[in-house]
Amino acid sequence: MDALIEKLKGQIIEQLNLAEVKPEEINPDSPLFGEGLGLDSIDALELIVLLEKHYGIKIQDPKDGKTIFQSLRTMAEYIKAQGKS
Amino acid sequence: MTKAYISGTGCISPQNSIDGEWFFDTINPAKGDFFDALEPSYKEYIAPNLLRRMGRAIKMGVAAANLAINQAEAKKVDAIITGTGLGCFEDSERFLLAMLDNDEQFLTPTSFIQSTHNTVGSQIALIMKCHDYNFTYVHRGFSFESTLQDAMMLFEEGKDTILVGGIEEHTPNFVILNRRAGKFQNQNTAIPIWKSTTEGIQMSEGASFFVLDKIKTEKSLARVDGIQTLYKPKTSQDILMKLHAFLKLHELSLADVDVTLMGFSGDVVFDEKLKELLPIIEKESTAASFKHLCGEYHTASAFAMWVATKLIEKQKLPKTVAISDKTPSKIKHVLIINQYLGINYSFTLLSQC
């Protein structure tokens, strides 16, 4: 799980162009939206594309996004649960 | 006739124009056959959370607009009007390349959202919380001129303060493709741009913004008296005839114009008509050039207006800008005669206020 979280950190920084953020600064349990990384709705779309592109996971119901993208850890857990890690 | 008073300017160009103290003393030459804009550290002008999504055209535009607004100390503007020939080219390219590379799959929204021509104007509006008139002109070599014409008409309709600007960016692919198409040339720096005998231009980029007021204030730097565009004039005599009529409209003759900034691009074909006009301009006025400083792009006339404002403000014509050997005793009226690819010609008249 830790290795997947580290991998996700790098992918998120690259996809969202978070040039100012270092991987070690991202707390895996902090919220991705609002507080924490302070992402917004456009970033949510970028994260959906990231999951599809890198892990072959398509989110069918947009309502699921709220739970999946709660934090880096919930994202990693979802990827693992889909057997795509 | 409506006039516009310039109360703030901001300019990002291949020169050190972002520095308010710079006055054409040290000149950066082109990088071979093209110019790159000298970009500042954008963190000083744009919040990091906004910056991460912006392409270079947006960053240049927002930073130049920021400089102009700060100089004018404008708390709000009634309209934002931008002009660009190619728009946010970097994001357009990024989006299209992603379509090709990923076989039209996994397309991300950011570069698509940021790729539209009006992104610069809309970003400035979002930052300024300006919900008023917002328009972007994409009229090739008349893009910036159109912003001025629109601003003049809006003043007649009752607007008081308007932000106008011209923005252009290039990308490595854009430079490679144009070079392959034979559009560029390595200018021999020993030969002034207005004496070039070969074809090809030095493509460039930049952003110049102006805060315009309907009435003169203590902040006013110069006045825009008028603007006229000419599409594909047949001969230099046609241009001269229109120029005399344009100046007459403002109760001036060519002899009243202290400095004439001419848009020589270095391409012997595109510059042909301006070359024919040069002896007449030199006889009556004092000729000067600006594209050896900023290169050629669709909205280079915005850079020319920034130069004209500086000349009026400082009351001095630096040798690095002048074509003529003459030194004007005063700079009351500055005329810009621009041409883009020998197709789009324009006159812009600025005066001391």
**Residue of B108, B111, B119, B123 for testing the chain A interface, max A β-carbons within 10 Å:** B108
Is the CB of B52 less than 8 angstroms away from the CB of A18? yes
For residue range B249-270, what is the model confidence (pLDDT) as tens digits?
999 999 999 999 999 999 999 9
Segment A45-55 shows an average pLDDT of 93
HEC-encoded secondary structure of B227-281: EEEEECCCCHHHHHHHHHHHHHHCCCCHHHCCEEEECCCCCCCCCHHHHHHHHHH
CA dist., res. B339 & res. B347, Å (int): 9
Among chain B residues, the shortest Cα distance to A57 is held by B106
Supply the CATH number for residue A19's domain.
1.10.1200.10
Question: Quick one: pLDDT at residue A37?
Answer: 83
Which domains are delineated in chain B?
Answer: 4-213 (3.40.47.10), 222-351 (3.40.47.10)
Question: Quick one: pLDDT at residue B247?
Answer: 98
Question: Quick one: pLDDT at residue B294?
Answer: 97
Give the E-state strand segments of B263-322 in sequence order: 287-289
Among chain B residues, the shortest Cα distance to A37 is held by B49
Partners of B201 in the β-ladder = B184
CB nearest to B110's CB, from A38, A42, A52: A42
Question: Quick one: pLDDT at residue A84?
Answer: 76
Question: How many domains does chain A divide into?
Answer: 1
Question: Quick one: pLDDT at residue A71?
Answer: 94
Instruction: Look at residue B146 and give its three-state secondary structure.
Output: helix
Q: Which residues of A touch B53 (CB under 8 A)?
A: 17, 42
Q: For residue A23, what are its two tokens? A: 């991987």
Question: Quick one: pLDDT at residue A83?
Answer: 87
A20 interface with B at CB cutoff 8 Å:
yes
B53 interface with A at CB cutoff 8 Å:
yes
Nearest 5°: the CA angle B28, B54, B103 is: 110
CA dist., res. A9 & res. A15, Å (int): 10
B125: Cβ contacts below 8 Å, ≥ 6 apart: B80, B131, B134
Q: Which residues of A touch B107 (CB under 8 A)?
A: 49
For residue range B268-316, what is the model confidence (pLDDT) as tens digits?
999 999 999 999 999 999 999 999 999 999 999 999 999 999 999 999 9
Q: What is the pTM of this model?
A: 0.94
d(CA B97, nearest CA chain A) in Å: 15
Question: Quick one: pLDDT at residue B13?
Answer: 98
Mean pLDDT by 10 residues, chain B (353 residues): 95 96 93 93 90 94 98 97 96 92 88 94 96 97 98 97 98 94 82 93 96 98 98 98 98 98 97 98 97 97 98 97 94 98 98 96
Domain hosting A11: range is 2-81
A56 interface with B at CB cutoff 8 Å:
no
CB nearest to A49's CB, from B53, B108, B113: B108
Partners of B89 in the β-ladder = none
Mean residue pLDDT of chain B comes to 95
Segment A16-39 shows an average pLDDT of 88
A14 interface with B at CB cutoff 8 Å:
no
Host H or E run for residue B10: strand B4-12
